[in-house]
Amino acid sequence: MNFWFEVFKIAVPAFVIVLLVLLGRYFGKYIQKPACANCNEIGQTNHEINVCISTDENYSRYAAVVIASILANAKPEDNLNFYILDGGINHESQQKILQLKAIKDCNINFVKIDNELFLDFSHIKTHGYISLPTYYRLKAASLLPDVDKIIYLDCDMVINSSLSELYSYDMEGMPLAGVSDIKRSNVRKSLTYVNAGMLVMDLDCIRKENIEKEFTDWTNEHFTEIKTGDQQIINEVLKGRIKLLPSTWNVQTSNFTTRSSYEVQPKIIHYYGPQKPWKPESWNYFKWYYRKYEALTPWAQHKTAEEIRREDIESMKAYLKYRPLFFLRPKFFKAVYYTYIRPFK
């Protein structure tokens, strides 16, 4: 009994201190500024960067946030071409997306998709938030026949850096490059198992090696085994043929503790899982970045500081209800160390 009393005396004050730190983080006391968009110049005068995003009408407003974040952090010489694989975006939403050119001039192309091309993937049962457009990337090489290379991005991401460095990585003959998946069980299957939310794709290589057919054939042969959709298909087919990139280019996060990397200023933030930052009850640690870039789009919500504060309090309550003893997990203390202590050493 005395032992547990001593543990209680230590744990409760520790919990209160850490909770205050987290509240401070939420309410602006510890907010870090995004990395300078013009830092680390690589000396190029005209850098063409092709970016591909898949969406339908349901996710069009979130795709706009991705694009806005890219344009806001682009270097002056970045020549950005956006290819939006369009699974049914209405005219009004298309016009709103085109308004993003006001942030920085760029090319925005809507590529209308015939869903009949994806019948092999249409009945795959995975997570409820995964829709058919997520499989469009599997046929990007044939959908964009005149494009040799792209950075593919999911709609639940924000970008805090110019993409010129990412686009310039030497693919070393690989058809695809990405960042290791956050789930260790996936990485144990293959050392090159990547999260499919951000992919650098050599479309020329994919066409020459007829990899799209490999994707379709594998899907038909292993249909009942597919649990993680396009990501599983990509990693199974290209096992050993994927180049790994630094973690900063796809920091996967669902809350303060669960992050694939504890970097203070990730170059790409991926809000993976169901805790999407546009949900009022979301407790995602980097939610404020999403709000920042959403404010640059025609879908800006213009919430007051008080409304945001109340929303953050409710999200904190939701997380405490979901995981009331989170402060006793070793991962939590690891996150505190790498977020608030190590950066200032």
Find tokens 């995004």 and name the residue. Answer: 34
Kindly tell me if the per-residue pLDDT of 274 is higher than 70.
yes
On the question of pLDDT at 206 being above 90, the answer is yes
Does the pLDDT at position 88 exceed 90?
yes
Write the CB contacts of 11 (distance below 8 Å, at least 6 apart in sequence).
327, 328
Are 186 and 228 found together in one domain? Answer: yes
Strands (E), the chain: 47-55, 78-86, 107-112, 149-153, 157-159, 176-180, 194-202, 242-244, 251-252, 268-270
Name residues whose C-beta falls within 8 Å of residue 159's C-beta, 6 or more positions apart in sequence: 66, 69, 70, 73, 153, 267, 268
332 pLDDT tier (thresholds 50, 70, 90):
confident
Distance of alpha carbon 256 from alpha carbon 25, whole angstroms: 10
Distance CA 64, CA 70 (A): 10
- Residue 128's pLDDT is 58
- Give the pLDDT confidence score for residue 315 in this predicted structure: 86
Instruction: Let me know if residue 213 belongs to a domain.
Output: yes
Which DSSP letter does residue 20 get?
H
pLDDT mean across residues, the chain: 86
Q: Are 98 and 130 in contact (CB under 8 A)?
A: no
Question: What pLDDT digit, counting tens, does each position of 94-151 carry?
Answer: 999 999 999 999 999 999 999 898 888 877 776 655 678 989 999 999 999 999 999 9
Rounded CA-CA distance 87/80 in Å is 22
Q: How far is CA 273 from its chain centroid?
A: 10
Q: Considering just the CA atoms, what is the radius of gyration of the chain in Å?
A: 21
Cβ atoms of residues 18 and 26 within 8 Å:
no
Residue where a domain terminates, one of 219, 248, 277: 248
The confidence score (pLDDT) of residue 83 equals 98
Do 54 and 194 fall within a single domain?
yes
How far apart, in whole angstroms, are the C-alpha atoms of residue 339 and residue 333? 10
Task: Identify whether 68 is part of a domain.
Answer: yes
120 and 255 both lie in a single domain = no
Q: What is the distance between the alpha carbons of residues 27 and 313, in angstroms, rounded to a whole number?
A: 9
The answer to whether residues 282 and 170 belong to one domain is: no
Phi/psi of residue 106, nearest 5 degrees? -160, 175
Which of 220, 248, 276 terminates a domain? The answer is 248
More confident residue, 343 or 194: 194
Q: Are the C-beta atoms of 197 and 247 separated by less than 8 Å?
A: no
Task: Using alpha carbons, list the distances in angstroms from residue 160 to 51, 172, 219, 223.
Answer: 15, 26, 34, 37
Other Cβ atoms within 10 Å of 126 Cβ, number: 14
| Cα-to-chain-centroid distance, residue 3 | 44
What pLDDT does residue 162 have? 98
What is the model's pLDDT at position 21?
A: 45
* pTM of the complete model: 0.84
Q: Establish if 54 belongs to a structural domain.
A: yes
Indicate which CATH number applies to the domain containing 125: 3.90.550.10
* End residue of a domain, out of 248, 279, 301: 248
Looking at residue 311, its amino acid is E
Residue 329: inside a domain: yes
189, 141: one domain: yes
Q: Do the domain assignments include residue 103?
A: yes
* 284 shares a domain with 202: no
Residue bearing the bigger pLDDT, 284 or 160:
160
Sheet containing 47-55, strands listed edge to edge, beginning at the edge strand earlier in sequence: 107-112, 78-86, 47-55, 149-153, 194-202, 176-180, 242-244
Question: Within a domain: residue 227?
Answer: yes
Note the pLDDT tens digit of each residue in 135-146: 999 999 999 999
DSSP notation for 234-294: HHHHTTT-EEE--GGG-EEBSSSS-BS---SS-SEEE--SS--TTSTT---TTHHHHHHHH
Asked, for residue 6, whether it belongs to a domain, the answer is no
Cα-flanking dihedrals φ and ψ of residue 32, to 5°? -95, 150
Domain that holds residue 185: 47-248
pLDDT at 201 over 90: yes
Q: State the total domains in the chain.
A: 2
Per-residue confidence (pLDDT) for residue 129, from 0 to 100: 57
pLDDT of residue 286: 92
Residue 188 has a pLDDT of 86
pLDDT of 29 > 50? The answer is: no
Question: Do 235 and 105 share a domain, yes or no?
Answer: yes
289 plus 185 within the same structural domain: no
* Position 42 in a domain: no
Residue 182, pLDDT score: 92
Mean pLDDT of 300-309: 90
Query: Where do we find the tokens 């205050």?
Result: 20
